[in-house]
Chain A
Amino acid sequence: MNCLKPIRFAGAILFTAILGAVFAAVFAATASAQDVPDLGPKPHLVIKPMESHIGNVTGHAAAAKSDYRRYCAGCHGDYGDSNGENAVWLDPKPRDFTIATFKCRSTLTGTLPTDEDLFNTIARGLTNSNMPVWSTFTKQQRADLVAYIKIFSPRWEKEKAGEPIKIPAEPPVSMESISHGKALFTKLECWKCHGPHGEGDGPSAATLTDSKDNPIRPYNFAAGKGDSRFKCGDTNQDIYKIFMTGLDGTPMPSFADVIQPNDAWDLVHFLRTLQVNRHSKENEVLSAAHGVIPPYVDKNPPPAAAPPADNKPPGGAN
């Protein structure tokens, strides 16, 4: 009897070991099951009854469900989080609607864009990116998509869109206006990123990142031919809006507090001359003057001291 004891003991150990192994295997299986991405049905997306108002057209989120899934989700993702299956291949990245930060706004920095702003972006597309022109959609389809975009961020339920900035009537293009615009380009240090000739090669250009830490390039005004466009529209009014409201989510700040409305038009006129390959009224005025912008003479100089010599772009603008 006594001689059986060690065997029984060994059996007990073996039994415990097997039991332990089975438990470990089961535990490992459940643990790895948690690590594997969920391949089952995705969590239900609640389509909140958001609306948009474009003139006399009212957009409804629910109406845009199939258009969004067919035309937008591939890049912007089913959940509007910019994680569509194509997103990994894109630069710049698709807009993330869950954070409700938008580049093209007529409203001040930090505020939500108007419905028209989003509507125009969809129609226009975003040049130098993979966002195509969606002018093939009807006005109603686009309005519905604007409403659909709002289901992804709670900001749209808590806040109203910002007030659009007021844009005074554009003064006529003149050499004086262009020359003042050039002085502003230097003084406001647009060249720090955009470069002295607007070629996107300023001293700070190489280190720029967007708000998601992706590298981003400043706009190169000189690139492209006659069709060179801006992301947020191509009229002089659009350029005015771009630098006054800033492009939220990017390094481009708002200048609304620092540029007087009429001075802003002078800057617009100068920026047009940086688009060297583009036909424009501004470039006509410039070539009539043999491409020379005279230095700006302030008729009412402010009492403040002149900026230090170090504050000038290397080589000078244009």
Chain B
Amino acid sequence: MKAHYKTFVVTACTLLILGFGLLYSTRKTLNVSAAASGGITGTIKLDGTPPHQKPIDMSKEPNCAKEHASSPVTTETVIVGPKGGLKWVVVYISEGLDAATASQVPPVKPTWDQKGCQYIPHVMALDVNQHFEVSNSDPHSHNIHPLPKPNGANHEWNRSQPPGTPPFDQVWAGEEIAIPVKCNIHPWMHGYMAVVKGPTAVSDDNGSYTISNLPPGNYTVTAWQETYGAQSQKVTVAAGKPATADFTYKAK
């Protein structure tokens, strides 16, 4: 009985030590991976009164007019949240990326959806050669017509997507901020695809963004907004804790 008790205590202690050891080692490896990649976080604000966003008359597309009957959709050239945060701003690293980070293409495949005669999302950030899907959730046709700058790496195309057709896959071959996308059938539909190498982010309803997976270093971070354009600042990213870079646009 006593011998059994001894064995139990010894096994329990060994297990405990092993357990704590394992916990400690994983904590250490977690710390190491967090140290290897930092990030940038911040808020984009608008200083002043935003331009009036006009309600869109969708009566030419009865499906969409019905869908938005209770709350009409407005234009989205400047969208400001309750605390002055600016939505749909693309934030990217314009200088300082090492080759390895710049060439990394995120393994996710974002969707560019057409729903209620709007692009969801209105602004999408993509990496060069990152695949994305174009889908149509509406019960009617759209044509997707991106208009990149002539003679760059990207070329204009125009494809029809009737209801019920499967999503199709696309990529952009070169950096471009930003490619306007339109639907000729519904002239109010506007969106942008920002194609840029390296980690990116698009600001949310509060104007906040977080760029992650960025190795420590000195960077120039640039914000781009469809009406107000681009602005940049220098940021030093340290290991572990994300650096902060806030931007303020002046309302014109």
Contacts and interface: CB of A to CB of B under 8 A. Distances in A.
A188 B184 contact: no
A252 B158 contact: yes
A142 interface: no
A258 B161 contact: yes
A188 to B, nearest CB: 5
Contact of B165 (A109, A110, A208, A257): A257
B105 to A, nearest CB: 21
Contact of A310 (B63, B144, B145, B187): B63
B143 interface: yes
B133 to A, nearest CB: 13
Interface stretch (B80-88, B147-155, B197-205, B221-229): B147-155
A109 B143 CA distance: 12
A257 B168 contact: yes
Contact of B184 (A99, A110, A193): A193
B157 A110 contact: yes
B151 A155 contact: yes
Contacts of A308: 63, 139
Interface in A131-190: 153-155, 187-189
Q: Give the interface size bracket for B toward A.
A: 20 to 34
Contact of B139 (A110, A211, A256, A311): A311
Contact of B150 (A98, A110, A246, A250): A98
Given A192-B141, A253-B159, A258-B160, A203 B151 contact: no
B157 A248 contact: yes
Contacts of B122: none
B131 to A, nearest CB: 16
Interface string B59-89: 0101100100000000000000000000000
Nearest to A247: B158
Nearest to A184: B162
A247 to B, nearest CB: 8
Contact of A254 (B139, B147, B157, B162): B157
Contacts of B162: 187-189, 258
Interface in A183-216: 187-189, 192-193, 203-204, 207-209, 211
A43 interface: no
B156 interface: yes
A252 B165 CA distance: 18
A132 to B, nearest CB: 26
A116 to B, nearest CB: 20
Contacts of B66: 310
A207 B185 CA distance: 8
A178 to B, nearest CB: 20
Contacts of A310: 62-63, 66, 139-140
Contacts of A155: 151, 155
A203 B160 contact: no
A153 B158 CA distance: 20
A37 interface: no
Contacts of B158: 109, 246, 248, 250-254
Interface in A274-318: 304, 307-308, 310-311
Contact of A311 (B140, B151, B156): B140
A241 to B, nearest CB: 15
A101 interface: yes
Nearest to B184: A251
A94 interface: no
Contacts of B143: 251, 253
B186 interface: yes
20 contacts: A101-B155, A153-B151, A188-B141, A203-B60, A204-B60, A204-B184, A211-B156, A249-B156, A251-B184, A253-B144, A253-B158, A253-B159, A254-B157, A254-B158, A258-B162, A304-B164, A307-B139, A307-B163, A308-B139, A311-B63
Interface of A: 98-101, 109-111, 153-155, 187-189, 192-193, 203-204, 207-209, 211, 246, 248-258, 304, 307-308, 310-311
5 closest A-B pairs by CB: A251-B184, A110-B157, A99-B150, A253-B143, A189-B141
